[in-house]
Amino acid sequence: MYARKMQAYKDNEPLLIHCFQDSLAGPASIWFLNLKKVATFEELANAFVQQYKYNSYLAPNRRELQAMT
């Protein structure tokens, strides 16, 4: 959703970095506030993925969801 919203500003790295925090809530927002300074949006995106990639491993697939019922 953030990428679609900011598509018109894709060449404005400082704006992309600054506005990214508006798409975060809770622990992710705190993570962003404690993040060291990043130079590019790609660097920010990579740091975010590194921090939260474990969530992709925890998500059950369709078969696992059906087995729960």
Question: Residue 65: pLDDT above 90?
Answer: no
For 69, the 3-state DSSP assignment is: coil
Question: Residue 1: pLDDT above 90?
Answer: no
pTM for the structure as a whole? 0.70
Inter-residue contact 17 to 44 (CB < 8 Å):
yes
Q: pLDDT tens, 9-63?
A: 999 999 999 999 999 999 999 999 999 999 999 999 999 999 988 766 677 788 8
pLDDT at 64: 84
- Strand blocks (E) in 1-69: none
Query: The tokens of 10 are what?
Result: 């894709």
Query: The tokens of 20 are what?
Result: 């990214």
